[in-house]
A and B are shown apart, each in its own frame.
Chain A
């Protein structure tokens, strides 16, 4: 037991001995040094005059942004509809692609652990690690600006997310039910339909609405790179410095996000 002596020679209990304490302090020192170095890099390329000036600029923008230009709302209904479509259809498209990937990636349903599973896992990691905005950037340069590019971008980005959660759900199913169905002489597909799918259906529905909620958030900004939705209006309003319009669009986005979260929470509450 690590102990130290205080000035009167009394032994005092300590949680760590001297070497451990030194190691920990050295670790902390390294971490703080690394942080300070990183901060210095940021500080070096920052124009501090702008930063000290920031409160005035913020107040200036704020005064120009209020009140929101309410009559601009008439031009926003179509972009809002487009945004909703990008999120919903994108989620649907993603699910169509994610379900097979999930079944190929789950270790208890994959046809081959050495060949198919790594490929499926790579699809999951690579689609997940690239932000939907980057996918949108890529797709805009391939299929042209518009709603379609945003839709496909959202779909691709969501594959990894949905497939990952779904294959974890598949791996956690109760084996006994599957065995019971197999024991009746069911074929591979019948085992799938009656043994596995009923078990993962609730988590499948939960994942769907969860991802839909996230996609609503993400589809609001896709327009910044030209991929349709309300972001297009946002970016054009920003480009002409029409701050009252920007305020209104931000309010609309805020309402859409809160509504999306509310719907998703309700649906998940009803399912699970």
Chain B
């Protein structure tokens, strides 16, 4: 009789329901709505992309040529162009990073709510927001229109972009700082400059150095594209190389950019370890 009772059903009942992975989104209605919405969006989005497949198959040969070119890049036939472009990129990077840091320190101080009075805070935050919202390329187009072709436009663009990045992160760092140290310095009767210099600066300095080097790295990468809109640097050479389908020269330029970025990244790692 007992064997008849131990059917699958009762066994399941005794064991209870099996464990299931909890869902990422708990509310089932929200979950399904998001799921269906995502599917609908994907279908609509995919349908709005029209790919010219015959053009693609034609281009794949060119793509393969590029891969082959990457295997044996040509550094020499346009050697002077590459060298001059790269030097110009480096020059733009260095100057714009230095000037950008110099400008973003006061703005960063002004954008920290625990240091700056409200009007200064609002103005500085406005500058930061404007700088972050405008893409480098768009700024570069405007700067080229205003200042003319050449590295000066690129330098101004990168300096402006550096402000948004560095001032924002510096301000956040200052807002997170330890208040006690700053207060202790203030209690000695220090002036405002002394207070910043001895109470605030030592706390944010390691992070500032790290961020500056990181920004140097970003600025170099960005300087490689500014040439596309005429703002100086290696980008113009790269653009010409692509337009003429000289993939081996393009590959050489890209490899040099990758190499420089890797070196910069390694250096920044070393320096950040030393500072922190």
Contacts A134-B225, A134-B238, A201-B24 given; does A146 touch B50 at CB 8 Å:
yes
Contact of B135 among A57, A58, A225, A253 (CB under 8 A): A253
Q: Is the CB of A218 within 8 A of B45?
A: no
Contact of B146 among A41, A61, A130, A224 (CB under 8 A): A61
Q: Is the CB of B135 within 8 A of A39?
A: no
The count of residues in chain A whose C-beta lies closer than 8 Å to any C-beta of chain B is 53
Scan residues 218-276 of chain B and give those whose CB is less than 8 A from a CB of chain A. Answer: 221-222, 224-225, 228-229, 232, 235, 238-239, 242-243, 245, 250, 254, 257-258, 261-262, 265
- B contact residues around A47 at 8 Å (CB): 148, 150
Q: Is the CB of A141 within 8 A of B51?
A: no
Contact of A89 among B45, B148, B238, B239 (CB under 8 A): B45
**Is B31's CB within 8 Å of the partner chain A?**
no
Scan residues 196-235 of chain A and give those whose CB is less than 8 A from a CB of chain B. Answer: 201, 217-218, 220-221, 224-225, 234
Q: Is the CB of B135 within 8 A of A42?
A: no
B130 CB to nearest A CB, Å: 9
Q: Is the CB of A81 within 8 A of B135?
A: no
Q: Is the CB of B138 within 8 A of A54?
A: no
Q: Is the CB of B49 within 8 A of A38?
A: no
- B contact residues around A194 at 8 Å (CB): 21
> Is the interface on chain B under 10, 10 to 19, 20 to 34, or 35 or more residues?
35 or more
- B contact residues around A81 at 8 Å (CB): 48
Contacts A58-B146, A133-B137, A253-B138 given; does A143 touch B94 at CB 8 Å:
no
Main secondary structure of the interface of A (DSSP, over half): helix
Q: Which of B53-61, B106-114, B118-126, B206-214 contacts A (4 or more CB under 8 A)?
A: B53-61
Separation of A143 and B98 alpha carbons in the complex (Å): 40
Contacts A35-B95, A42-B152, A125-B258 given; does A88 touch B45 at CB 8 Å:
yes
Q: Is the CB of B265 within 8 A of A125?
A: yes
Q: Is the CB of B94 within 8 A of A126?
A: no
Cβ-closest chain B residue relative to A151: B49
- B contact residues around A141 at 8 Å (CB): 59, 62, 242-243, 245
Cβ-closest chain B residue relative to A31: B98
Q: Is the CB of B62 within 8 A of A38?
A: no
**Is B100's CB within 8 Å of the partner chain A?**
no
Separation of A233 and B250 alpha carbons in the complex (Å): 27
Contacts A148-B51, A217-B135 given; does A54 touch B147 at CB 8 Å:
yes
Cβ-closest chain B residue relative to A218: B135
Question: Chain A residues in contact with chain B, CB under 8 A?
Answer: 34-35, 38-39, 41-42, 45-47, 50-51, 54, 57-58, 61, 81-82, 85, 88-89, 125-126, 128-131, 133-134, 137-138, 141-144, 146-148, 151, 194, 201, 217-218, 220-221, 224-225, 234, 238, 250, 253-254, 257-258
The 3 closest A-B pairs by CB, nearest first: A129-B261, A50-B148, A144-B55
* 14 further A-B pairs in the complex, CB-CB below 8 A; given A41-B87, A51-B147, A142-B62: A38-B91, A38-B95, A42-B155, A46-B148, A129-B262, A131-B224, A131-B225, A133-B225, A138-B66, A144-B55, A148-B51, A221-B137, A224-B229, A257-B133
